[in-house]
């Protein structure tokens, strides 16, 4: 009887969810958020507004009902910086619906871009990664502040943790005497197995329910908290049908203020203090991207696709181009100069700019590889037009991040083939075309019923 009621409640909640997603446009996006005066200069100034601190964090919202037992979600974020961002989006989207508290994982950083490794298929030697503080990429305090509005406690990783041997499928472990083994459940079959949101949510809830039932059957007193451990959540969620949720989650993922400040300085230099726009290129031709391009011949083809992309996007000798690339990070200077000379000869750029030219060497030397990538990303976020690579999550996240901040997706052209597993997993925000500026509304996090956690009844109810 109780179980029936519980199921009925869950079905009703999912129906409400589905309904809200269908109407997300009318309730959230479509009303224009800015007057005629403030919308004209969107391309250069559109992003400035979001760093002003005003926004959804300032909104008073009632905390959602806390489910009992409380769920604590822990997970891994793996591979390059923007694969990690996608991992965060998937895990936090799940946490929002579960009403779960969250322990963020540490950041990972590759040792170099000059590595012939295929991290997805591991056909060649494995790339080397090291752990770094979560704060090296993200503004953890600001993220936590934002989630507190939802009654959700987001914590940085504890000082002590052990990375799993397999970064994609293994689990982070924490010496955690506070939890009994029966309190901790591990959800497998997540990494690179994209699922519809409702399915992933159902798996998580079933795992928690089973843990509660098992503890009860073993005669243990009811737990206050169940720890839900996930491996790396990269490509675990089909985002494309829950963009109302993922766009809000992505908005909460603020980048490190230090990287933001460095990017601001680069943008000031590139735009001559905001007086001229610039185009942006994400040139993903480093050695470690060879697996994207299959071989050297593939790399040549990719370069040709980049040139065509720049032409089609209207890059010409009237604007400078900022190039985001790891080529100079490992001193592939010869290749770099060839490419840059070609761009100039083809009349695609007035001048070609890059971070090594605009910051002091010691400012870059202190950064790990993923921080350098985020720095480039934050510059390209403010370009008038960008050309990137369809097979790169840096490029897809860039298109989504720009769209999230009011810049039409059509200003980002991604060249080359789209990997099959990107099809439903990389969009984070609705494509509203020229109406994209209306999205600035999203800077205000509204506590919609769709974000209220689905109540997990107390243990006894679940096994009745």
Contact residues toward ligand NAG (CB under 6 A) are: 314, 316-318, 331, 333-334
The SS3 of residue 108 is strand
Name the minimum Å distance from CB 332 to ligand NAG: 8
- φ, ψ for residue 306 (rounded to 5)? -60, -45
Q: Cα 119–123–125 angle (5° rounding)?
A: 70
Residues 374, 394: Cα–Cα separation, whole Å: 9
Nearer to ligand NAG among residue 65 and residue 318 (C-beta): 318
Distance CA 100, CA 226 (A): 10
Between strands 184-186 and 154-155, the pairing is unpaired
H-run or E-run covering 204: helix 197-217
Buried b (16+ CB within 10 A) or exposed e, 252-286: bbbbbeebeebbeebbeebbeeeeebbbbbbbbbb
Q: At its nearest, how many Å lie between ligand NAG and the CB of residue 349?
A: 11
For residues 56 and 149, the answer to whether their CB atoms sit within 8 Å is: yes
442: Cβ contacts below 8 Å, ≥ 6 apart: 28, 29, 56, 247, 248, 251, 404
The structure tokens listed for 76 are: 């891994």
Q: Which of 362, 279, 360 is nearest to 323 (CA)?
A: 279
User: Tokens 């197995």 belong to which residue?
Assistant: 193
Least distance to ligand NAG from the beta carbon of 437, Å? 20
Nearer CB in complex with ligand NAG: 357/424: 357
CB under 8 Å to 268, separation ≥6 — which residues?
Answer: 274
User: Taking the complex as a whole, how short is the minimal distance between the CB of residue 262 and ligand NAG, in angstroms?
Assistant: 22
Instruction: Select 334 or 362, whichever has its Cβ closest to ligand NAG.
Output: 334
Query: Is the distance from CB of 271 to CB of 279 less than 8 angstroms?
Result: no
State the nearest-atom distance from the C-beta of 411 to ligand NAG, in Å. Answer: 11
Which of 43/196 has CB closer to ligand NAG?
Answer: 43
Smallest distance, Å, CB 133 to ligand NAG?
27
Which residue lies nearer to ligand NAG by CB, 63 or 314?
314
Do the beta carbons of residue 186 and residue 171 sit within 8 Å? yes
**Tokens at 130, concatenated:** 């090291």
CA 430 to chain CA centroid, nearest Å: 15
Of the pair 37, 331, the CB lying nearest ligand NAG is at 331
Smallest distance from ligand NAG to CB 317, Å: 6
Q: Nearest-CB residue to ligand NAG?
A: 314
* Contact in structure between 97 and 451 (CB atoms under 8 Å): yes
- Is the CB of 160 or the CB of 361 nearer to ligand NAG? 361
Nearer to ligand NAG, 162 or 317 (CB): 317
Closer Cβ to ligand NAG, 262 or 328, answer by number: 328
Nearer to ligand NAG, 58 or 317 (CB): 317
Of 316 and 455, nearer to ligand NAG (C-beta) is 316
Compute the least distance from the CB of residue 255 to ligand NAG, in Å. 29
Nearest to 106, CA basis, from 55, 32, 157, 44? 157
Q: Smallest gap, in angstroms, from Cβ of residue 367 to ligand NAG?
A: 17
Closest alpha carbon to 226 in 169, 175, 187: 187
Cβ 385 to ligand NAG, closest distance in Å? 8
Tokens standing for residue 440: 């600035």
**Shortest separation between residue 372's beta carbon and ligand NAG, angstroms:** 16
């Amino acid at each position: 009887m109780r179980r029936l009621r519980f199921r009925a409640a869950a079905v009703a909640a999912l129906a409400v969810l589905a309904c809200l997603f269908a109407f997300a446009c009318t309730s959230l996006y479509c009303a224009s958020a800015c007057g005629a005066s403030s919308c004209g200069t969107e391309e250069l100034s559109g992003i400035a507004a979001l760093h002003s601190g005003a926004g959804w964090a300032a909104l008073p919202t009632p905390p959602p009902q806390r489910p009992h037992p409380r769920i604590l979600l822990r997970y891994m974020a793996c591979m390059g910086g923007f694969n990690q961002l996608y991992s965060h989006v998937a895990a936090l989207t799940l946490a929002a619906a579960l009403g779960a508290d969250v322990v963020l994982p540490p950041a990972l950083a590759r040792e170099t871009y000059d590595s012939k490794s295929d991290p997805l298929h591991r056909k060649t030697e494995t790339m080397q990664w090291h752990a770094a503080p979560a704060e090296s990429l993200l503004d953890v305090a600001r993220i936590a502040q934002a989630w507190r509005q939802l009654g959700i406690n987001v914590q940085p990783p504890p000082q002590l943790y052990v990375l799993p041997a397999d970064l994609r499928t293994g689990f982070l472990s924490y010496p955690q005497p506070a939890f009994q083994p029966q309190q901790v459940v591990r959800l497998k079959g997540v990494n690179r197995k994209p699922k519809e949101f409702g399915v992933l949510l159902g798996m998580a809830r079933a795992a928690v329910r089973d843990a509660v039932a098992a503890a009860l059957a073993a005669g243990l007193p009811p737990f206050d908290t169940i720890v839900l451990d996930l491996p790396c959540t990269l490509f675990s969620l089909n985002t494309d049908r829950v963009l109302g949720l993922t766009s809000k989650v992505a908005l909460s993922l603020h980048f490190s203020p230090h990287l933001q400040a460095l990017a601001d300085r680069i943008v000031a230099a590139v735009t001559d203090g905001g007086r001229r726009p610039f185009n942006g290129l994400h040139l993903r031709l480093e050695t470690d991207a060879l697996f994207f391009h299959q071989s050297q011949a593939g790399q040549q083809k990719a370069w040709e696709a980049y040139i065509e992309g720049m032409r089609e996007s209207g890059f010409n000798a009237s604007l400078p181009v900022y190039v985001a690339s790891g080529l100079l990070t490992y001193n592939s200077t010869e290749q770099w100069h060839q490419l840059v000379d070609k761009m100039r000869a083809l009349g695609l750029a007035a001048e070609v700019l890059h971070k090594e030219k605009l910051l002091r060497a010691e400012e870059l030397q202190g950064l790990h590889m993923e921080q350098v990538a985020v720095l480039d990303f934050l510059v390209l976020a403010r370009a008038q037009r960008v050309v990137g690579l369809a097979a790169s999550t840096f490029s897809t996240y860039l298109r989504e991040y720009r769209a999230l901040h009011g810049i039409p997706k059509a200003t980002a052209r991604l060249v080359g083939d789209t990997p099959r597993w990107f099809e439903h997993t990389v969009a984070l925000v609705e494509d509203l075309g020229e109406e994209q500026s209306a999205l600035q509304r999203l800077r205000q996090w509204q506590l919609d019923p769709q974000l209220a956690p689905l109540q997990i009844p107390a243990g006894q109810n679940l096994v009745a």
